């Protein structure tokens, strides 16, 4: 399939900044397929996360907003795990 690179470059230049993340992701996938054509794991994970990518794209959120939410949630999970570990250690110390 012949690709008109100049048209593709023009189309990319006309995209809004928030749309470029999708283009970047597609380029990364294409580059990975070229260097790892037999990577069944990568293909499987890409397909598994397709609904997630679509849902996120539909929100119109920027990559920065999504990263901030993920960072907050990750910190909350880590804090909860830390508190459980402390409670378990405290219980262990009191039972000895």
At residue 20, the pLDDT reads 84
pTM of the model: 0.47
Q: What totals of helices (H) and strands (E) does the chain contain, helices first? A: 5, 0
At residue 45, the pLDDT reads 87
The token pair at 94 is 């009191």
Per-residue pLDDT tens listing for the chain (96 residues): 688 889 989 988 998 887 888 888 888 888 877 776 667 787 788 889 889 888 988 888 888 899 999 999 999 999 999 999 999 988 888 777
CA distance 25 to 32: 10
At residue 72, the pLDDT reads 96
* Secondary structure of 59-92 as H, E, C letters: HCCCHHHHHHHHHHHHHHHHHHHHHHHHHHHHHH
Residues 6 or more apart whose Cβ sits within 8 Å of residue 56:
66
Summarised one tens digit per residue, pLDDT across range 23-43 is: 888 888 888 777 766 677 877
At residue 29, the pLDDT reads 80
At residue 46, the pLDDT reads 84
């Amino acid at each position: 399939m012949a690709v008109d690179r100049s048209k593709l470059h023009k189309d990319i230049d006309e995209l809004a900044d928030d749309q470029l993340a999708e283009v970047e992701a597609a380029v990364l996938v294409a580059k990975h397929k070229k260097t790892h054509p037999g990577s069944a794991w990568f293909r499987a994970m890409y397909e598994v996360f397709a609904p997630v990518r679509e849902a996120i794209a539909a929100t119109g959120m920027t990559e920065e907003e999504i990263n901030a939410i993920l960072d907050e949630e990750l910190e909350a999970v880590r804090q909860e795990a830390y508190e459980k570990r402390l409670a378990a250690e405290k219980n262990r110390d009191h039972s000895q």
